Amino acid sequence: MPDGTIVAHSNPARLGEILHVGGREADDGIMRELAPDMLPHWGIMRMEGRRVFAVYRQFSPGLRDLPRGFPLPVIFLGLDLSPFEITRSQNRDYVAMLAAVTLLVGLACLVALYYAERARESRQRQRMAEGKVRRLEEEVRRKEKLAAVGNLAAGVAHEIRNPLSSIKGYATYFGQRFPEGSEDREAANVMVHEVDRLNRVIMDLIGLSRPSDVSPHPADLKLVIDHVTRLVHQDAEKRGVRIVCRAPKRVPLAMADPERMGQALLNLCLNALDAMPDGGQLTLAIVERKGRVCLMVRDNGTGIEPAQLPHIFDPYYTTKGQGTGLGLAMVHKIIEAHDGEISVVSRPAQAARRGETTFSIWLPRAAEGSVAQNRQA
């Protein structure tokens, strides 16, 4: 009833008692707050000692034409929320447990990724270390070969040069005693040329055996390129080779000995011309990367086979029909004396395309102070 008196209940023992809402007896004030009418109202509230979802409205079963002001009873239908709250609590526990498991799995994945990355970096460092060890071993073997060549040159050069000088002198003397154009004079000239060739071989041996006398100072590699291109220009034209020079507007100065670098660059250019018997393009370029100056020599000739690349800087290793095999060994020695590095990348020629070989010489860049002083000079 509107005053809170229970006239019907699912528990018959509650008949005649007062309804409890929100932990208090439902008096007139509480019933006015609920404001029941003929439309259904609902909400979550505490009734009869339980937390329920209640739906309520005024109730007039079979009563018509009621007098004005006749109190209508209010019917309450309540659904106990305790099973839902238990389920929700269990769901929260499951969610918390799932979140914890997900977090643990995520942490495990992160740890696995971390150690996998560490393992990958370790393998990469190991490969780099192995590559460095192989390069050092190759360098040691090359130095051992150079040392052996040096010992041979030191012991043989002095013993051979004096007899060669005598042979050249007598060949020149006897050649002048024969008439111009005679076979005997031509034979004497051949002897003189062969003696000169042997003397050049001995000079190359001596150059490999003695320490490289380089005097690095801030130098403009563009001037070195210009000097070398002038030397090989005519030979390149005869072979149908076009020379292309590429350099930035402000060429960075490198710590180099221009004379010795010119000798090394000349050897590389001559080898490049020999690799282009049918013509092609010889490219000389200067670039700056990572605080160093790189001088590149590129040709599109026959290329170098992969099996030959590890041995091209070895003394006496050559694939030419003529030559001593000391040219690239001398180039390597000169670059090494400059505290520089030289590397080569090559692609052999195939039926459908030309080959390509690129030598890269890395030299230390000159300090800014020395650069300014050199420009003022």
* 96 occurs within a structural domain: no
**337-365 pLDDT, tens per residue?**
888 999 999 999 887 788 899 999 999 99
CA dist 223 and 251 (Å) reads 10
**Per-residue pLDDT, 372:** 46
Residues 161 and 183 in one domain: yes
187/193 Cα distance (integer angstroms)? 10
At 286, is the secondary structure helix, strand, or coil?
strand
**Residue pointed to by tokens 């221009």:** 258
The token pair at 98 is 């799932």
- Tokens 């040096």 appear where? 150
DSSP 214-237: ---EEE-HHHHHHHHHHHHHHHHH
Tell whether 365 and 232 lie within a shared domain.
yes
Query: 354 is in which domain, residue-wise?
Result: 217-376
User: How many angstroms separate the CA atoms of 292 and 245, rounded?
Assistant: 19
| Domain C-terminal end among 25, 59, 80 | 80
Predicted confidence (pLDDT) at residue 256 exceeds the cutoff of 70: yes
* Residue 112 within any structural domain of the chain: no
Sequence-distant (6+) residues with CB within 8 A of 251 are 220, 221, 222, 286
Let me know whether 357 and 271 are in one domain: yes
In terms of Cβ atoms closer than 10 Å to its own Cβ (0-12, 13-18, 19+), residue 272 is: buried
**Count of domains in the chain?**
3
Q: What is the pLDDT of residue 211?
A: 53
Q: What is the pLDDT of residue 376?
A: 47
One domain for residues 172 and 282: no
Beta bridge partners, 295, equal 286, 361
Q: Kindly state whether residue 105 falls inside one of the protein's structural domains.
A: no
Q: Are 203 and 314 in the same domain? A: no
Look-up of token digits 């070969």? 145
| 48 and 60 Cβ atoms separated by less than 8 Å | no
Which pair of tokens denotes residue 16?
């005649």
In a shared domain, residues 371 and 261: yes
Lowest mean pLDDT across 178-192, 251-265, 279-293, 315-329: 315-329
Is residue 279 domain-resident? yes
Q: Is the pLDDT of residue 369 over 70?
A: no
Q: What are the tens digits of pLDDT across the range 20-31?
A: 887 778 877 788
pLDDT value of residue 153: 66
